[in-house]
Copies of this chain bind each other. A is one copy, B any other.
Amino acid sequence: MKSKYLGEFEMVVLGAVLKLGDGAYGAAIRQEIELGSERSVSIGALYTTLTRLEAKGYVGSRLGESTPQRGGRAKRYFRVTDAGEAQLRRSFAALNRMLEGVL
């Protein structure tokens, strides 16, 4: 078993997906991150991380029903798995312990 800590961007992405609940697909997640953390993120960078998180079992995804308004490919919606949420908690808690008192 590996069970390392999550990277910084992985935590950010998981947080955004959690916050969005339903409606967490590429562009929405990206916007959530850019607003919340004042950083610009390319869509490719985001998908790469999402794919890796899925491979680890920290997020799952489903393709949206194809009822778009104007054209465009079907959205892929992401959700954080229980394992993902647990891992996020663990990682963030460890970081907090290291920084509390000095931050």
Residue pair B8, A5 in contact (C-beta under 8 Å): yes
Query: How many residues in A have their beta carbons less than 8 Å from beta carbons of B?
Result: 28
> A92 touches which one: B33, B38, B89, B103 (CB < 8 A)?
B103
Oligomer copy total: 2
Q: Which B residues lie within 8 Å of A7 (CB)?
A: 7-8
Does residue A27 face the partner (Cβ distance < 8 Å to B)?
no
Residue pair A97, B37 in contact (C-beta under 8 Å): yes
A sample of 16 cross-chain residue pairs with beta-carbon separation below 8 angstroms, ordered by A number, consists of: A8-B8, A8-B91, A11-B95, A11-B98, A11-B99, A12-B95, A12-B98, A15-B99, A15-B102, A15-B103, A16-B98, A18-B102, A19-B102, A33-B98, A37-B98, A92-B99
